[in-house]
Amino acid sequence: MAAMEGALVTRLATEKNVAAFLDMLAVSEIGAELLAKSDDGYNVMVGGQLFHSYLDHPRVRVQWKPGQWSTAAGRYQLLERWFDPYKNLLGLHDFSPEAQDAIAIQQLKEAKAYRYILDGNVEEAIRCCRHIWASLPGAGYGQHENRPSALLAAYLNAGGALA
């Protein structure tokens, strides 16, 4: 019985790390102020506009700065071109918060960051997935990149544990 309880505590702790990492990504991509003004970021398009239906990715091309266009939307700023492949892969039916979380988790797994998140190795997890999210340090997309210390603070504030 004690082994089962220990396994449950471990599973809950690792799931808490994943939730905290997703919250950290949202803070990084959207920012705390816009997260508060929206549906926790799930209905945000690049540039801060909000969309009003989760039936599908909004599929709106937004000019977010002169000469720069994007279709990024949702809590993790998923590009339109990636939505349909993930929708099919994961058997999703919409762009709901649950679907957005499922896609982000799949992306973390594909980037080999998921295991590091479970273990509480946030710095290594960020290194593994920075090519996906332009706001992460070292992403190299020419956009604003957040400081590692700010991301670590957001992760810890969301209840994540470190290795």
124 is catalytic: no
Of 5, 29, 110, 145, the catalytic one is: 29
Q: Where are the alpha helices (DSSP H) in the chain?
A: 2-30, 32-37, 80-90, 97-110, 114-119, 122-129, 148-157
Q: Are 50 and 63 in contact (CB under 8 A)?
A: no
CA distance 28 to 134: 9
Reduce the DSSP state of residue 57 to 3 states and report it. coil
Q: Active-site positions?
A: 29
